[in-house]
Amino acid sequence: MGDFNQAIGQGSRAPRGLRRALQEAFSPKLRIVTADLVFQGRKSIDHIALGAEWTVDSVDAISNIHGERRLSDHFGVAGRVSVRPVSDPGGPDDG
């Protein structure tokens, strides 16, 4: 998880080379589950990337505005993730 300071996917305003470099920096085994997150018309620049052993239950935006105060220059993200159950094809070990 991190603040990559760049929208990922459709609608990104970053130069093509920069978008490609960021995508290539991620392992192909990772899914960026926040790539399409939009809040108040703005795409997320914070992202959560998960490996195959994880599943995302929910992804939400956290407002950067509290009352009349602007807390950050962009909104945050929060996610609830779970470990996928590991299937044991051999069954329990009887020793």
Q: Which residue has the higher pLDDT, 52 or 22?
A: 52
Q: Which two tokens stand for residue 36?
A: 């399409």
Pairwise CA distance, residues 51 & 62, whole Å: 23
pLDDT at position 81 is 93
pTM: 0.74
pLDDT at position 63 is 96
Instruction: Indicate the pLDDT class of residue 85, thresholds 50, 70 and 90.
Output: confident
Q: 47-82 burial string, b = 16+ CB within 10 Å, else e? A: bbbbeeebeeeebebeebeeeeeeeeeebbbebeee
Instruction: Indicate the pLDDT class of residue 87, thresholds 50, 70 and 90.
Output: low
Q: Is residue 70 scored above 70 in pLDDT?
A: yes
Q: What is the mean pLDDT of residues 42-62?
A: 92
Domain residue ranges of the chain, discontinuous segments joined by +:
2-83
Q: How many CB atoms lie under 10 A from the CB of residue 42?
A: 14
